[in-house]
Chains A and B, each alone.
Chain A
Amino acid sequence: MIQFDRVSKRYPNGKDALSKVSFTLPAGQLTFLTGHSGAGKSTLLKLIMMIERPTQGQVLVEGQNLNGFGNRHIPLLRRKIGMVHQNHQLLFDRSVFDNVALPLIIAGYSRADIGKRVRAALDKVGLLDKEKLNPIMLSGGEQQRVGIARAVVNKPPLLLADEPTGNLDPALSEEIMDLFQDFARVGVAVLIATHDLSLIARYNHRLLTLREGRLIHDGDDRDGNGTGDTHGR
């Protein structure tokens, strides 16, 4: 689904955000991405979203090399990626329904189709009865679930989440994690960037650990939580 091949990213200010990072994310797998702030988590997500381009190396999505993509291909790439943000990125000038419908409108679905798919997505996150509300009236956990519904409404093969449980208590975090695991189970590649070590510890999923731009751990053992230096590649 996603393949990083010796990817380096140096910003114009000379800072090396990523150095020779290589890994593969298969479909149907949930993977945590961790590391201290500034370790390169955000840069890694930005490279997948083509918000940034790598300085060296290649990023492949569904076997296609993003280096060969021009700017006009970016929207089509992003339609294959559902993105969940820590601050939800919801629009408060429209209803929950309209927020979730946005990716479908952009992708050009018919109106009837949009209604069906939005309700299916809201049903999945348990907010079917809130479709007419403004998201500002919802709790933090509910807002996050609206964000997830929007990310998955057009059934993307890849789901990225940036600190999705950052502002939530453990019980709500668990609900959110359950949703992500469900998506992975039906074949979606899920990548969750987080520095919530307790969350990582509770699940037995593959873990990628970044430190100062290098991938220092890749596996499903629990000792590479960003503080250890087990593999040090």
Chain B
Amino acid sequence: MAANKRNATPIKPRRPKAEKPRRVAGAHSASTSLKDRLASWREHHRDSLRDALHRINLSRASSAMTILVIAIALSLPAGLAVLLDNARAITRGWDGNAHLSVFLTMDVQESRQRDLARQWEALDHIQRTKVITREQALAEFQALSGFGDVLEALPDNPLPPLIVVFPDSTDPVTLRDLENHLAAEPGVDLVQLDVEWVRRLHALIELGERLISALTLALAAAVVLVVVNTIRLGIESRRDEIVVVKIVGGTDGFVRRPFLYTGFCFGFGGGLVAVVLVQTALWWLGGPIDELLALYESEQSLTSMAASSLIILPMFSGILGLLGAWLAVGRHLGDIEPNF
């Protein structure tokens, strides 16, 4: 019936333009002020977060399991990304070491060798050259290889004269041209381009990046699915509560909110544990890796996660959890409607 039929009750005048007033005062129902509602909305957010944490704590064992699954799924790509970052930082200095080893024929004398080196320094794209005579090569080989005694026994020095050429560019085409040009020079036996392996390493690192991206995508999807499943079970176990809330006029947002907070908490918690796992693994690997780096004469040492990642990873994970909760809620909340 129209509002004016309720003669027994004082009614606040409706706003004239309101076709569907959001809240028509009933028999004695007091309307709530905007300020009250805002405060209450804030309170509900805080209560939802507290409630989410409380429920996670209530089912501690299964919650811990969910958080650990998320953490492990995330620590794998995160840990690999840190290692790859390190590999990139270490190899960055290696480009400058690109050089061509030009082996001369055995009959080239030392003076001729020095002449050639001087001539080549005038060529385009050559920064400098370094002469390694047969005697120097032998001494170096004896010192480093440990085969000194064997070499002593040989009647002749088997090592050819060598000129190391340092190019001023690492452009593959330039290097290839330079290699061909030097190979055609008189007295040159063999030119070896020592930049190949650096390029291969770079290609490998790029491949690693792609693999980590794919892995991240796959495992992020796994995190979302884990949260979807966990929230789905949560919705199922709170079916009665959802029905009651809907009957007494709870909006979909009100029903959704605690689940979204739960999803975010799972994701965020999983991300935090992932940070701990990655840092622990890096600490564990740190000793051997630093040793390995020292053997490669690198002054780098293993760096751990950037400080920003410490918060970015949990936030990213939290957003994945939120997404999972959103999907679960959208999919399953509509199924629960009051009935009697």
Contact = CB atoms under 8 A, between A and B. Distances in A.
A21 to B, nearest CB: 16
Interface of B: 1-3, 5-9, 20, 22-24, 26-30, 32, 36-37, 39-41, 43-44, 240-241, 243-252, 254, 337-340
B244 A89 contact: yes
A170 B2 CA distance: 36
A45 B340 CA distance: 9
A126 interface: no
Contacts of A171: none
Interface of A: 1-3, 24-28, 42, 45-46, 49, 51, 60, 62-64, 68-69, 72-73, 75-80, 83, 85-86, 89-91, 93, 102-103, 105-111, 113, 150, 154-158, 162, 186-188
A62 B14 CA distance: 13
A83 B244 CA distance: 10
Given A27-B1, A103-B249, A150-B248, 16 more contacts: A2-B1, A27-B5, A27-B8, A76-B23, A78-B246, A83-B248, A105-B40, A108-B32, A108-B41, A109-B32, A110-B40, A154-B29, A155-B27, A156-B26, A158-B26, A187-B28
Given A62-B1, A108-B37, A156 B240 contact: no
A227 to B, nearest CB: 24
A199 B28 CA distance: 28
A106 B247 CA distance: 11
Nearest to A112: B36
B187 to A, nearest CB: 88
Given A91-B244, A110-B40, A155-B27, A1 B5 contact: yes
Nearest to B24: A62
B26 A157 contact: yes
In the A-B complex, the 10 residue pairs with the closest CB atoms: A157-B26, A79-B249, A63-B2, A78-B249, A108-B37, A108-B40, A155-B29, A103-B248, A27-B6, A187-B8
B234 to A, nearest CB: 13
Given A24-B1, A49-B338, A83-B247, A156 B37 contact: no
B1 A186 contact: no
Contacts of A79: 23, 248-249
A129 B37 CA distance: 29
B338 A80 contact: no
Given A3-B1, A108-B37, A89 B6 contact: no
A110 B149 CA distance: 93
Contacts of A154: 29
26 contacts: A1-B1, A2-B1, A27-B1, A27-B7, A27-B8, A42-B340, A45-B340, A51-B338, A51-B339, A62-B2, A62-B24, A72-B251, A75-B246, A75-B251, A80-B29, A89-B240, A90-B244, A102-B244, A102-B245, A103-B248, A103-B249, A110-B39, A155-B27, A156-B29, A157-B29, A187-B6
A73 B2 contact: no
Contacts, number: 130
Given A51-B339, A108-B40, A109-B32, A63 B3 contact: yes
A211 B339 CA distance: 21
Nearest to B338: A51
A196 B251 CA distance: 34
A78 B24 CA distance: 12
Given A76-B23, A187-B9, A106 B36 contact: no
B40 A49 contact: no
Contacts of A25: 1
Contacts of B240: 89, 91
B55 to A, nearest CB: 10
Contact of A111 (B37, B43, B254): B43
A91 B244 CA distance: 8
A207 B52 CA distance: 47
A107 B43 CA distance: 12
Contacts of B36: 108-110, 113
A63 to B, nearest CB: 4
Nearest to B33: A110
A109 B244 contact: no
A86 to B, nearest CB: 8
A157 B5 CA distance: 12
B248 A85 contact: no
A45 B27 CA distance: 20
Nearest to A87: B340
A180 B338 CA distance: 23
A162 B40 CA distance: 31
Contact of A76 (B5, B22, B41): B22
A111 B32 CA distance: 12
A73 B252 CA distance: 11
A160 to B, nearest CB: 10
Given A78-B247, A110-B39, A91 B8 contact: no
B32 A107 contact: yes
A75 B27 contact: no
A85 B243 CA distance: 12
Contacts of B246: 75, 78
A93 B246 CA distance: 17
B9 A27 contact: yes
B8 A28 contact: yes
Contacts of B249: 75-79, 103, 106-107
